[in-house]
Structure 1
C-alpha cells in the first residue's frame, strides 16, 4: 500500500484536530447555553414568585390570597407553566394544573428557597423554584409556601433552536479553518518543494549544489545532501584518476608487446606474432576506451557548449584531410544554441561522429543542430552505404565495427555513447537511405 504524502498526512491530522476542537467547542457552547437559559428561566420564575407573594394581604389580621393573578399561561390547562401556594392549610393552584397537585417534599426552612425538578401533569419534566416564608406578626405567623414551575421542554426547544442556528456557522468555520490549514501547510512545505526542484535541477545540470538560501529547519538536510555530493565528486575524481593511471600504465607494456610481435614476424613466427597482435589490439581498445571515459568531466552537465562553434571547428579540421577535402559539407546550426555538456567532451563526441561519417560518405555530409523542447538535437548524416539492419543495434557496443573492412578499433561510437550518457543525453543511430544518420540529444541550457 502506497503511504500518504506528507501534505495529506498533515491535512488529515489538522482536519481531525479542527473537527475535534470544534466538536468540543460545540459541546461547551451547549453547556453554557443550557446554563444561561436555565438562569434566565429561574430569574423569570423568581419574578413570577414575587408577583404571587405580593398577592398575599392581611384581612382582619389573617393573611389571605385576595386576588389570584390572571395570566393566560396559567389559565390554559397543562400549558407548561404552573404555580401552587400553601397558605397555612389552604392550598391554591393555578388553573393550568387542573386537578393535578405538584409532588413536592417537605417545605424548606422559613426564608429559604430551592430549585427543584418535578414531575408535572402528562409526565412533563418541570423546572421549579420553591420558597418558604412566614406571613403575619406575633408569635404565630402563618406559613407561606410557594412553588412556581415551567416545562423543561421549552428549554429543550430553545437549545435545539440554538443548535440549528449554530450549525451553519460551525460548518462555515470548519471550511474556513480547513482552507487556512491547507494554506498553512502549503506555505510550510514550500521549502521541501524547493529542495525537490533543486534536486531535479541537480540531475539536469542546472545547479551544482542545493545551496544555503533555505529555511533553518531544512538546512541540515540541504547541507547533508551537498556534503554527499562533494564526497561523491571527490570519489569519482579519484576513481577517474586511478583509471587513467592504470590505462596509461598499460600503454607502454602493450607497445612493447607490439614491438616483440614485429620482431617475431621478422623471425618468421607469423602465427605467434598474429596472436600477440590480436590480443594487444583488443587490450589497446579497452585501454583507449577507459582513457576516454576517464577524461569525462565529473559534472559535465554543469558546463555549457555551443554546438555551432564545435561543428564549425571540427569541419575546418576535417576539410584539410585528404578524405574530407573532396566532400560537400553542409553545416546548419544556430550560434545561440547551448547544450549542457563540457565543450571538450562535445568536441570529442562530434569529432568521432563526423570522422565516422567522413570515412563512409560518398560525396556529402550534413550536420545540423536544433532545439527540440528541452533538448538540443545534433544530427550528422552521410550519403554512404549505411549499415545492415542486423548490425545497426550493435554498433555502439565495444569492438563492433560498421563494416568488417574498417580499420578502426570499434570503440568510437561506444565512447560517444558514454559521453552522451555522462551528460544525461543519448545517442541513436538509424539508416537514412542512403547513408547513416547519428542523432545526439543533449540537455538544453533552459531545461
Structure 2
C-alpha cells in the first residue's frame, strides 16, 4: 500500500475522525459528570444549610447560638471536610471543623432567602464549594439579618470526577478499537466495487471480456459506463483505421501497377537499367505497404490474445516433420504447459514456422526447442547443430531491411523478427560452436 493509496487515505481519515470524536466525547462526558457531581453537592449543601438554620436559637443573654448541631460528624471533626459559618451583627459562629479558620465570604448583598454559590479558600489552603444564604431571623430571635454558609472540600468533587474518567477510559479505548475496525471494514467493503472494476478491465486486456458492464453500485456505474464508452470508441477508431489502411492499400495498388507498366515500356525502349530501378523502387514500396498493413493487423489483435506456447511449438514441429518425411532429425521439445504469450495463434505459428523450418533445413542431427519464463516474458530458444551463420552475416540480417542472402535464410528470419517486434518482443541470433540458436522473447499474456 503506497502513500497515494485511496485505501490508506480513507484509513487515516477514519482513524483521525474516530480519535477526535472519542477524545471530544471523553472530555465532554467528564465535564458533564463534573457538573452533575457539583449539582449533587449543591443539593447536599442546601439540605445541610436548612438543618443549620433550623437549629439557630437565642440564649438567656440574647446571643445567637446553635441549639441543635447537625448530626454529620464531619462538622465536629477538625478539618473534617464539611463546614458551616453564621454571621450576624457583631457575632460569628463557626463549626468545630473550621477550628480557628473563618470563611472569607464575599461582600454580597443578598435579598432575604437568596442563595449564592462560591469557590472559596478553606482551612489548610484547600478549595471549598460554599453555599451561602441571607435570611431575616424571626422576631423571637431578634428579627435581625443573618448570613449562613456551609461548605465542603472541592477536592472530593474533583476526585469523584477523576475516578469517573479512570473508569470511562477503558470503555473509550474499546470503542476506539471497535470504530477503527468498523472503519476498516467499511473501507474494504466500499472499495470492493473498484477492485471488481479492475478485475473486469484485466479480463478485457486478457481477451476474456469485451466490456466492463453495469452491474455495480450506483456510485461506480458512471465510471464503468465511461470505460465501456471509451472501449467502444477505441474499437470504432481501430475499425476506421483498418478501413483507412485498406483504402490506402487499394489506393496504392493502381499507382504501383501503373508505375510497373511504365517501367515495362521503358524497358522496351531499351532503358533496362532505368526500368529495373523503377521496378525495384515499386517492389520496395509494395513490401513496405504489405508489412505495415500486416503490423497493424497483428498489433490490433495481440493485446487481447492469449496463446499456449507449448501447443504452438508442438503444432509447428509436427508440420515441419511431416513436410520432410525422409528427414531423420531428432527433435527435443521442452516447453512448460500453460505458458501463454500475448499473441494470436496464427501469428505465433508464422513466427515459429519460419524459424523452425530454418533450423530443420540446416540441422544435421538434432533440433532443440525449449522455453522459460523471465520478467513477465517467455523466452523461446530454437537450436540446430548445422553449419551456423557467420557473425558478419548475422549482423546484416538483424538490421532493418536485411531480408535475404544466398541461401535464403535471411528472408524467414527477417519476417519472424518483424512479426515478433510487432508483438512487443525481440529476436536474437546467437552463434554457437556448432549451429545457431535463435532466441525469441515474447510478452506473457495477462491472466
Q: Deviations over 1:60-115 (max 9, x none)?
A: 79774235457553344444432112467542111232333222235633344332
Which residue of 223, 226, 229 corresponds with 2:228? 226
1:37 aligned residue: 37
TM-score (norm. length: structure 2)? 0.80
Which residue of 109, 112, 135 corresponds with 2:111? 109
Hey, what's the Cα distance between the residues in 1 that align with 2:155 and 2:311?
A: 93
CA contact (8 A) 2:103 2:121 kept: yes
Which residue of 275, 281, 289 corresponds with 2:291? 289
Q: 1:160 to 1:12 in 2, by over 3 A?
A: same
Deviation at 1:253, TM superposition (A): 4.5
Q: 1:329 to 1:263 in 2, by over 3 A?
A: farther
Is 1:342 aligned to 2:344, yes or no? yes
Q: 1:260 to 1:109 in 2, by over 3 A?
A: closer
Is 1:9 aligned to 2:6, yes or no? no
CA contact (8 A) 2:377 2:442 kept: yes
Hey, what's the Cα distance between the residues in 2 that align with 1:385 and 1:272?
A: 39
Deviation at 1:239, TM superposition (A): 1.4
- Stretch moving more, 293-302 or 13-22: 293-302
Please show how residues 253-332 of structure 1 align to structure 2 within 5 Å. 253-254=255-256, 257-258=259-260, 261=263, 269-296=271-298, 298-305=300-307, 307=309, 310-311=312-313, 314=316, 318=320, 326=327, 328=329, 330=331, 332=333
Cα RMSD, aligned residues only: 3.9
Deviation at 1:430, TM superposition (A): 3.4
Q: 1:284 to 1:407 in 2, by over 3 A?
A: farther
CA contact (8 A) 1:428 1:438 kept: yes
Deviation at 1:338, TM superposition (A): 5.9
Hey, what's the Cα distance between the residues in 2 that align with 1:407 and 1:260?
A: 33
Deviation at 1:220, TM superposition (A): 1.0
Deviation at 1:34, TM superposition (A): 1.5
- Stretch moving more, 56-65 or 200-209: 56-65
Hey, what's the Cα distance between the residues in 2 that align with 1:260 and 1:328?
A: 49
Q: Secondary structure at the match of 2:423?
A: helix
Hey, what's the Cα distance between the residues in 2 that align with 1:59 and 1:427?
A: 124
Give ranges in structure 2 of 5+ residues lacking alignment. none
Q: Secondary structure at the match of 1:110?
A: coil
Deviation at 1:293, TM superposition (A): 1.9
Which residue of 126, 129, 153 corresponds with 2:128? 126
Is 1:47 aligned to 2:50, yes or no? no
Q: Secondary structure at the match of 1:208?
A: coil
Is 1:190 aligned to 2:165, yes or no? no
Deviation at 1:224, TM superposition (A): 0.9
Is 1:420 aligned to 2:426, yes or no? no
Deviation at 1:38, TM superposition (A): 0.5
Q: 1:350 to 1:273 in 2, by over 3 A?
A: same
Q: 1:426 to 1:184 in 2, by over 3 A?
A: farther
CA contact (8 A) 2:397 2:410 kept: no
CA contact (8 A) 2:206 2:306 kept: no
Hey, what's the Cα distance between the residues in 2 that align with 1:9 and 1:139?
A: 76
1:25 aligned residue: 25
Q: Deviations over 1:172-195 (max 9, x none)?
A: 333332232222112212222222
CA contact (8 A) 1:244 1:290 kept: no
Q: 1:355 to 1:126 in 2, by over 3 A?
A: same
Hey, what's the Cα distance between the residues in 2 that align with 1:124 and 1:96?
A: 13
Q: How many residues align?
A: 441
Please show how residues 146-165 of structure 1 align to structure 2 within 5 Å. 146-165=148-167
- Stretch moving more, 242-251 or 374-383: 374-383
Please show how residues 316-395 of structure 1 align to structure 2 within 5 Å. 318=320, 326=327, 328=329, 330=331, 332=333, 340-358=342-360, 360-362=362-364, 364-367=366-369, 378-389=380-391, 392=394, 395=397
Hey, what's the Cα distance between the residues in 2 that align with 1:314 and 1:331?
A: 13
Hey, what's the Cα distance between the residues in 2 that align with 1:318 and 1:363?
A: 15
Give ranges in structure 1 of 5+ residues lacking alignment. none
Q: Secondary structure at the match of 2:179?
A: helix
Q: 1:78 to 1:429 in 2, by over 3 A?
A: farther
